[in-house]
Structure formats: structure tokens, C-alpha cells
Chains A and B, each alone.
Chain A
């Protein structure tokens, strides 16, 4: 490996891959049982954080930033005037292994511009994963980006070596895609996803009969949507996400606030602000549906198509559904406890445990760690002081915003610290 050349390529191909927000390295089950290198069980680890606050857990690079396509929102598009580079298969393998040995990373996230054809590119991505597993005895995490339009045969092979596969939908609606990525065909995204889904289902059923069935993409598949590039509202975005979660068993949908990178007049101009707060609200909503028992329609619907930016989606739901409150902390079921603004799932678990011993009062709840600021208007407990005024939603919102001063102005991390 020539150090100088690798260094130059790494800079170019890491820079081009950075807009992909997927970073998770959890959810796989690849134990180190062969005295090899690495272990991908349990939770992924963020080994560092970029200065913009995103987690660094995988070596995230493109195999190449040459591309025959011209998607308007992408730095790698062929009409963009940037330096091009391409890694050799062995270079990616060496970088991954050496970074892993030093505990810099959990594994590899490999994506690529399209060199020649979808299959030609996919074949090389698969070759990297295969080499890591078979020649280097590597058990760390591997996430491969499926190239839209890649053949079923290659997708099958990819899943045998990778922990996770993903295709980025990027643009949530067909019309938006047509406008911004004229070379791409909507069905080309669906096909590899469909294939991976079916392989996973088949793997699971065969596994029941034959124990030694080779693992197939144990970390499942994910996708990414760009937010704020093509005018969709939050209702469209979250409904699209719901559709993919349901029909393709996705593990994660990522939302990526569009960073303007082009003077193309189909897109927000360079210098326009990255919609980070909106992105954060989408993650919060996603979280509510995956872990808090909310239905997408409760969060956004035809009457409420955009998420509020000044308050989080749970508080927003509560204000639109005041008739469900106050919740009695000492009696309510888990589902309702989880719906109280200012009460996170960890507090819900503590409340359920602690109330077996005695009726809980404000002191107990504060110590358990609920956000009193918001919660006080939505619950009753074994204390007398609770909000008795009959406040309207608008009034309530104003009071809460006033008492929580700067809290909502801050830009939060897109994937962590979602709720207090």
C-alpha cells in the first residue's frame, strides 16, 4: 500500500461519502468464534464524533466517486467538477483491518458511485466484503450500499457477507425523484430491497430446519431520505417511511437534512440553511412510532401535515389531545405513561417498578428524572399540587415554551438525546 496515494484517495472518497447519515453498527450477531478479528454482537460503538456532532463508528467511504449518473443532489454526479479517485479492493481491505485493529472503528460502510454499470460496481463492493470475511477472518461490521439496479444474484451474495444492506431512496416521492435524478428509475430501488427482504425471510425459515444455514444480512436493511431538497412535507416523508418499515421490514430509516452543494436551480441555493431542526423532529417522530407505541397518523395527518418546529412531536400530540390528560401516574398503563410529555421510556420503566412499593408523589417523580417542566401539566400523582387551571392548548404551549427558555432553540444531535 503506497501511503501517499492511499491518503489522497481516502480524503476524496471519505469526503464524498460523508453525506450518507447512516452510521449504526448495531443489531448484528456475528460472534468471534474462530479466534479471528472482531466481534459484531450487541450495541455498536461510536468511536468518535465529527465536529458536526455525528457519530463515527464505521469507516465510511466510497469505492469510487466516478459516476455515470447525474443526480442533482449528489456531489458525485458526473457533471460536478471534482477530483475523482477509486480504491482498489485490497486498499479498502487494508484500511479496514488496520483501523479496526487500532480500535478506531466498528467496521466498514462501503458505498460507491456507479462505474460503468450497476452490476460491475456491485461486484466490487461484494469482493471487498468477501475478502474481509474469507481471507482476513474479519468479524466486524460490514454495511454495503446496494447499487440500484444490481442483479438478484449479486444481492444474494452481498447479503452473505454483509451485516446490513441499504439502498437510499433519497427522494421520498416519485415525482421528486424524476425531477432530480432523471437517470434513476424508481423500480431500481425497489428491486434490490425486495430481494433482500425475501432472502431474509427465507433465511429465517430455513434456519429453523437447518441450523447451519449461512447468515443473511443479520443487521437487516435500512434506507435514507433527503429532507428539504424537493419540497415534500413531513406527512409525505413519515408516510413514506412507514411504508418502507412495513413492507420491507426496514431496521432504520434515516433522514438527512439537505446540505446545498450545487448551483442547480431545481434545488435550494448554496448557502441556504441546512434544515437540522426539522431533521431532528423527524427523528423524534420516528422514535415515537418505533419505541413509544405511536401511530404515524397520530403524529402527522391531513390536518396536521408538518411537524411543529418549536415543540417536540410528543408535546405537540398531547396539546392536540388534551382530553387524554391528566394521566394518573399510579394507575395508568405503560402506553399512557409513555405519552406524557417529559417522561421518557426509562422513566416509564422506573415508575412501573417503583409504584409497586408505594404510591408515587412529585418528589419521587422528580428524583426518577422526569422533566417536571413539561410533565406537570399532564399528570396527577400522590401529591396535591397539580395544575388545576383549565388551560387551553395555546396557553399551555406558551407557558411551557416560556419556562423552558432556550431548550428548544438548541440544535440537537440527529440520532441521540431525542428525549429527556
Chain B
């Protein structure tokens, strides 16, 4: 049978619409692929699938009937990993669930079940790290601003956490890799796009944009961080395992001494 590639718009609904299509036409040899990520195979037959909210809802509802909430959450998390070919792992998983008469969503002896669970775990780890490593800086406009560059697309997953925690301050968390952010204005939460000045340095605090006291609190925090270390117990290997170096550039406690 000819290999078919289904292209979708990169959204979760778009992906589920593809899954719907696979079921509808009982396709066998198929690859699902984000149309904005260029990796298509030369000799396959490409087809663009339009995102259809109704169809994607049907797939999602059907899934929830045959799988636990935890398993469906894992599917969503794994999707946000944006890893190459993750769509097909998830498709296999969902096919396995839908084609079995019993509940099989926790059958870890099945490769796609285990794989999804592992990818979801990585995404969930990144989510926790973002909840930990976001460092807000107070802008001159009285907004707490933070930029992040997560490996996975975890911004949608951390929204609730920050909303319930910082209910009385305006804040923005901006994913500069994916160029979109979250803005909380004391009432509601919105996804936003921002244009930054050309000379904007994401790892530093410039007095052009940030409040005067911001610099002081960063220094207080950094000094606190240094004073609380016990040098007799120093263990950099462990330290780096907990705070991988790729996160350092935006952590105020990791900036060179001012």
C-alpha cells in the first residue's frame, strides 16, 4: 500500500483531526506530520488535513471513555514534546486503545504505551523545571516579566500554576524560542505575541526597561544564594544534575557578580 503523509497545522486539535481521518479511511501506512516542520518523505503521498474541532472532540471524548484521565493527559503532554515522529507513537497508542475491547491504556509491555509514558514524563519534568526556574523581573510598567526557552512546549501546562500563585500582580511569561507568551492582567490570562527592541538582552536587567529596585533584589537573591552554600559539602556534579547548565543563563543567582 502507498505510504501516505498527513499534514496538520501543529495544533493538538489538528493532530486529533488526523487521527480521525486515519480511522475514517482505515489507513494503514501513514505518517502524521506538522506542516511547518519540514521533514516529509520524498515519495509519499501528502495530504493536508484541516483542523476540525468537532472531529477532534469526538476522538478525545472517545479516548477518554477507553482510557484513564492519566493516560489521556500523558498523550497531551507527549504531544507537546514536539519530538520528531511523536505523532506516530501517539497514533499507535491510540489505535491500540481503540482496537482493544478491554482497557489497555496502562499495558506497559506495549512499546507505544511505554514510549508515550516516557516522553510525557520528560515533558512533565520540563514543566516542573519551568515552574521552578522562571525568574520574574519587575519592569518599569509594574509588570513582572520572565522569559523562558524550554525544550518542550510547556507554556500551556504552566499557565494554571502561575495564575493561582500570582493573582495580585501583573505578569508575563514569554517563550522566546516559540515566540509567544502568557499575559496575566489581574483579571484574565491571554496568549500574546511581543516585539522586542533589537538590543534587548534576555539574560540581563537593563535600567531602560526594568525598575530600579529590580537590580537590588537580584543582588540580594544572588548573595543569599552564595551565603547559603556549605563549602565543606560542595558537590558540583549533583548541583548540575539538579540545575542543568542550559537553564543558567536566565537564573539571576547564576549571573556573574555585578
A residues near B (Cβ < 8 Å) are 3, 6-7, 10-12, 14-15, 17-19, 31-32, 35-39, 41, 45-56, 59-60, 95, 98-99, 101-104, 137, 257, 259-260, 274, 276, 350, 353-354, 357-358, 360, 364, 367-368, 410-413, 416
CB distance B238 to A53 under 8 Å? yes
Closest chain A residue to B113, Cβ basis: A354
B91-134: contact bitstring with A at CB < 8 Å (1 yes, 0 no)? 00000000000001011110000100000000000001001111
The number of A-B residue pairs with CB atoms under 8 Å apart is 153
Closest chain A residue to B186, Cβ basis: A35
On chain A, the residues within 8 Å of B234 by CB distance are 51-52
Q: How far is the CA of A407 from the CA of B224 in the complex (A)?
A: 33
CB distance A14 to B235 under 8 Å? no
On chain A, the residues within 8 Å of B185 by CB distance are none
Q: How far is the CA of A49 from the CA of B253 in the complex (A)?
A: 10
Would you mind naming 13 contact pairs between A and B with Cβ atoms under 8 Å apart? A7-B223, A18-B229, A31-B164, A32-B164, A41-B164, A50-B229, A50-B239, A52-B238, A53-B239, A53-B242, A56-B228, A101-B169, A368-B108
Within 8 A of A (CB), among B219-254: 219-221, 223-225, 227-239, 242-243, 251-253
CB distance B131 to A45 under 8 Å? yes
Q: How far is the CA of A54 from the CA of B149 in the complex (A)?
A: 25
CB distance A48 to B253 under 8 Å? yes
CB distance B165 to A3 under 8 Å? no
Decide yes or no whether B209 CB sits under 8 A from chain A: no
CB distance A10 to B227 under 8 Å? yes
In the complex, what's the smallest C-beta–C-beta distance from A204 to chain B, in angstroms?
26
CB distance A48 to B134 under 8 Å? no
On chain B, the residues within 8 Å of A60 by CB distance are 228
Looking at B137, B228, B231, B243, which has the most chain A CB atoms within 10 Å of its CB?
Answer: B228
Partner of A52, one of B131, B146, B213, B230: B230
In the complex, what's the smallest C-beta–C-beta distance from B235 to chain A, in angstroms?
5
Q: How far is the CA of A17 from the CA of B104 in the complex (A)?
A: 51
CB distance A98 to B230 under 8 Å? no
CB distance B135 to A103 under 8 Å? yes
Check A10/B220 contact, CB under 8 A, given A53-B242, A364-B109, A411-B235.
Answer: yes
CB distance A259 to B132 under 8 Å? no
Decide yes or no whether B166 CB sits under 8 A from chain A: yes
On chain B, the residues within 8 Å of A274 by CB distance are 232-233
On chain A, the residues within 8 Å of B104 by CB distance are 357
CB distance A32 to B167 under 8 Å? yes
In the complex, what's the smallest C-beta–C-beta distance from B199 to chain A, in angstroms?
23
CB distance A39 to B221 under 8 Å? no
Q: Which 5 A-B pairs have the closest CB atoms?
A: A53-B238, A52-B233, A49-B242, A14-B227, A50-B229
Q: How far is the CA of A199 from the CA of B160 in the complex (A)?
A: 34
Decide yes or no whether B217 CB sits under 8 A from chain A: yes
Closest chain B residue to A353, Cβ basis: B106
Decide yes or no whether B136 CB sits under 8 A from chain A: yes
Looking at B137, B138, B232, which has the most chain A CB atoms within 10 Å of its CB?
Answer: B232
Decide yes or no whether B144 CB sits under 8 A from chain A: yes
CB distance A39 to B168 under 8 Å? no
On chain A, the residues within 8 Å of B109 by CB distance are 354, 357-358, 360, 364, 367
Decide yes or no whether B216 CB sits under 8 A from chain A: yes
Check A51/B221 contact, CB under 8 A, given A36-B167, A353-B106.
Answer: no
Q: How far is the CA of A55 from the CA of B234 in the complex (A)?
A: 13
CB distance B216 to A3 under 8 Å? yes
B49-75: contact bitstring with A at CB < 8 Å (1 yes, 0 no)? 000000000000000000000000000
Q: How far is the CA of A52 from the CA of B235 in the complex (A)?
A: 5
Q: How far is the CA of A94 from the CA of B11 in the complex (A)?
A: 43
In the complex, what's the smallest C-beta–C-beta distance from A47 to chain B, in angstroms?
5
CB distance A45 to B128 under 8 Å? yes
Closest chain B residue to A260, Cβ basis: B232
Q: How far is the CA of A416 from the CA of B167 in the complex (A)?
A: 31
CB distance B242 to A46 under 8 Å? yes
On chain B, the residues within 8 Å of A59 by CB distance are 224
Q: How far is the CA of A6 from the CA of B227 in the complex (A)?
A: 14
CB distance B228 to A14 under 8 Å? yes
On chain A, the residues within 8 Å of B224 by CB distance are 10-11, 14, 59
CB distance A47 to B144 under 8 Å? no
CB distance B167 to A35 under 8 Å? yes
CB distance A259 to B233 under 8 Å? yes
On chain B, the residues within 8 Å of A353 by CB distance are 106-108
CB distance B107 to A357 under 8 Å? yes
In the complex, what's the smallest C-beta–C-beta distance from B144 to chain A, in angstroms?
6
Q: How far is the CA of A410 from the CA of B236 in the complex (A)?
A: 12
CB distance A52 to B108 under 8 Å? no
On chain A, the residues within 8 Å of B237 by CB distance are 410
On chain A, the residues within 8 Å of B242 by CB distance are 46, 49, 53, 55, 413, 416
Q: How far is the CA of A354 from the CA of B110 in the complex (A)?
A: 10
On chain B, the residues within 8 Å of A416 by CB distance are 242
On chain B, the residues within 8 Å of A10 by CB distance are 220, 223-224, 227
In the complex, what's the smallest C-beta–C-beta distance from B72 to chain A, in angstroms?
16
On chain A, the residues within 8 Å of B164 by CB distance are 31-32, 39, 41
On chain B, the residues within 8 Å of A31 by CB distance are 164
Q: How far is the CA of A62 from the CA of B37 in the complex (A)?
A: 53
- Other A-B contacts than A3-B220, A10-B220, 16 sampled, CB-CB below 8 A, are A6-B220, A7-B220, A14-B223, A14-B228, A32-B165, A37-B165, A47-B133, A49-B239, A51-B236, A53-B238, A99-B221, A102-B135, A102-B136, A353-B106, A357-B104, A358-B109
Within 8 A of A (CB), among B174-224: 213, 216-217, 219-221, 223-224
